[in-house]
Amino acid sequence: MPCLWWPKLAALAPSFLKPSGCFGRGEEMARRIVIIGANAAGVAAASFARRTDRKAEITLIEKDRYPGYSRCGLPFAIAGEIPSLDDLVLFKPEWFKGMRLDLRLETEAKRIDLQSRTVEIEDKSGKKEELSFDSLILCTGARAWMPPIEGRDKKGVFMLRTIDDARAIMEALKDAKKAVVIGAGAIGLEMAAAMREKGLEVTIVELLPHVLPVAVDEDVAKLLQDELEEHGVRLILGKPVKRIIGDEHVKAVEVDGEEIEADLILAATGVRANTELAAEAGLAICPATRAIRTDFRLRCLDGQRHRPVEGVYAAGDCAASIHMVTGLPALSQLGTTAVRMGKVAGINAAGGYATFPGVLGSFVTKVFGLEVGSTGITAEMAKRLGIDVVTGVATHVTKAEYYPGGKHIRVKLVVERATKRIVGGQVVGGEDVTQRINLLALAIQARMTVYDLANIRTAYAPPVADVWEPVVLAADVVARRLG
């Protein structure tokens, strides 16, 4: 569940979204919208559906007992940087009531019938009900996944996806001394830092050759690895966990013949899209991403003919999209992606018109004192895809060189050789990484060349920025290499 913090949506709906009636349905018949899932994508979908159709009957079905909370904040709440897990619940019951949304918590959608346009639901007491819909939005999200490692069912092995998961980990941390984190994606690194800050001995085991293997290249990862090791985190890279050792409770993990002691294990090995409902209903699942196939309006595709099913949409971690650089199917399980998909699905489900252009995977996180982010594709990914790229790196400072308190920052650009266009970027530094990732994302979306980027007119003031912007310096490096 690597993802970004997502804000409250109550004030985000633009003023030009005017209420619209249910076209052709008559004033007496309100549009019935059912949304399965009431987290990032589902809440965004409900918010924008309500602003598009003020009269619609909107029902949200959520299996969790908490609606609309930030999963991305869980590691930082565990670390104590956020005072309470309750602070992560961004949308209280009062908000749903004020928006006239029928929220059903601890309720599960059991079956979708596309012919009768109904959803069968069951609440925690076992009571079943059938809801009819004119529009359906699948925001079923994803679940934490762990490879079939021997011993993974022992006590002391945790995965982090929900507030209840976080509570269980926080309770276990009270007595834990040594921890092993399996997986070096964003959640793995954030949790390793959180546990190290609490005084645990921490080891990270990653199957691939470096940390953040999907988001950054090896040279950028090396800076992050140095930061982790400086803070006492042991790294074992390029090797799998063979088994988890212990009786009922974990005692160690075996890696390459070595037994590493641990009384707490966190499996941060990724998530898998929840697609069972969609597949059982006859909707198409993308083989490449194992997520629900959608079109440019986020309409689900029929599993037989692969044509859009009118009135049925998918958004968030369960929905496949297209990568804006490669044009290939992509699954960007980030909070920013979820709320933007939710917005598009909600508008369309309520009778409006919106499109989703695709994803870039723009990502940022902070581990100890170092921020790291990326957007577009890495040089390693470009090589796997057969895309000929040129890279350039610039290391500079975040303030004027003579101004106290400035921090080092490193920018790496990935540029397609043939077109000279920016196709990716990575930034790592002590501060101000996010604004540069956002700049590079805009450059990719605007199809800017490296020469365009080298000529942007940036701002300067000694306390906040140097006269030479590091992104421009990196663009200059690539431009020289291109000749």
pLDDT digits (tens, 9 = 90+) for 419-450: 999 999 999 999 999 999 999 999 999 999 99
Q: Please, which residues bridge with residue 299 across strands?
A: 313
Mean pLDDT of the chain: 94
pLDDT for 320-377, tens place per residue? 999 999 999 999 999 999 999 999 999 999 999 999 999 999 999 999 999 999 999 9
Is 32-142+271-349 assigned to CATH 3.50.50.60? yes
Domain borders along the chain are 32-142+271-349, 146-267, 370-482
Structure tokens at 189: 């690194």
- Helix/strand/coil for 257: coil
- Tell me the DSSP string of 99-148: TTEEEETTEEEEEEETTTTEEEEEETT--EEEEE-SEEEE---EEE----
User: Does 72 participate in catalysis according to the annotation?
Assistant: yes
Q: Please, which residues bridge with residue 193 across strands?
A: none
CATH superfamily of 146-267: FAD/NAD(P)-binding domain (3.50.50.60)
Tell which CATH architecture fits domain 370-482.
2-Layer Sandwich (3.30)
Does the structure show a pLDDT above 70 at 26?
no
Mean of the pLDDT values across residues 107-121? 98
Amino acid 356: pLDDT: 98
Residues 249 and 155: beta-carbon distance below 8 Å: yes
Determine which one of 72, 286, 300, 318 is catalytic.
Answer: 72
- Which of 110, 135, 129 is CA-nearest to residue 46? 135
Amino acid 334: pLDDT: 95
Exposed/middle/buried for 130, CB within 10 Å: 0-12, 13-18, 19+? exposed
Q: What percent of the chain has pLDDT over 70?
A: 94
Distances (CA, A) of 147 to 183, 201, 237: 11, 24, 17
> Angle formed by the axes of helices 335-349 and 40-52, to 10°?
30
Mean of the pLDDT values across residues 410-415? 98
Q: Which helix (H) or strand (E) holds 42?
A: helix 40-52
Amino acid 376: pLDDT: 98
Structure tokens at 126: 């076992």
Exposed/middle/buried for 240, CB within 10 Å: 0-12, 13-18, 19+? middle
Confidence band, pLDDT 50/70/90 cuts, at residue 12: very low
Given the structure tokens 């009778």, which residue do they identify? 351
Amino acid 27: pLDDT: 55
- Which of 19, 15, 73, 80 is CA-nearest to residue 49? 19
User: 32-142+271-349 and 146-267: same fold?
Assistant: yes
Total residue length of the chain: 483
Amino acid 310: pLDDT: 95
Does the structure show a pLDDT above 70 at 21?
no
